Amino acid sequence: EAGVAQSPRYKIIEKRQSVAFWCNPISGHATLYWYQQILGQGPKLLIQFQNNGVVDDSQLPKDRFSAERLKGVDSTLKIQPAKLEDSAVYLCASSPGGPFNNEQFFGPGTRLTVL
């Protein structure tokens, strides 16, 4: 079974530029999560999708971050414009959904450096 795929693995941009990350969850997984992991901290949930609907985006900085999962499969997370404090690893995770939503499967992450 293929795992959660993310691209790119690394990205370096200058502040005020835009950047987009892509995530392809495990086939059949209804729930998709985007996390931000700042160095030395645990992952912080940015947004959670159930199929193509948003379940929780309370911690997403909506003035600069956006995410979509149009067909309920893969997802993109965008930052526009980026700030220095956005430097972090962005993790995507998926889970089956429903009563089996108690285990998340994580992708390798995208390490973003904002200069």
Partner 1 sequence: AQSVTQLDSQVPVFEEAPVELRCNYSSSVSVYLFWYVQYPNQGLQLLLKYLSGSTLVESINGFEAEFNKSQTSFHLRKPSVHISDTAEYFCAVKSRTGNQFYFGTGTSLTVIP
- Report how many residues bind partner 1 under the rule CB under 8 A: 22
Give the three-class secondary structure for 41. Answer: coil
DSSP bridge partners of 112: 11, 88
Angstrom distance (rounded) from CA 69 to CA 13: 24
Q: Which stretch binds partner 1 (CB under 8 A): 15-23, 43-51, 61-69, 76-84?
A: 43-51
Contact flag: residue 12 with partner 1 (CB under 8 A): no
Contact flag: residue 20 with partner 1 (CB under 8 A): no
Asked whether 30 and 51 are in contact (CB, 8 A), the reply is yes
Contact flag: residue 25 with partner 1 (CB under 8 A): no
Binding residues among 59-88 for partner 1 as defined by CB under 8 A: none
Contact flag: residue 98 with partner 1 (CB under 8 A): no
Contact flag: residue 108 with partner 1 (CB under 8 A): yes
The residue type of 89 is V
Contact flag: residue 101 with partner 1 (CB under 8 A): yes
R_g (Cα) of the chain, nearest Å: 13
Residues 6+ apart with CB under 8 A from 42: none
Q: List interacting residues with partner 1 (CB under 8 A).
A: 4, 33, 40-45, 48, 55-56, 91, 93, 101-109
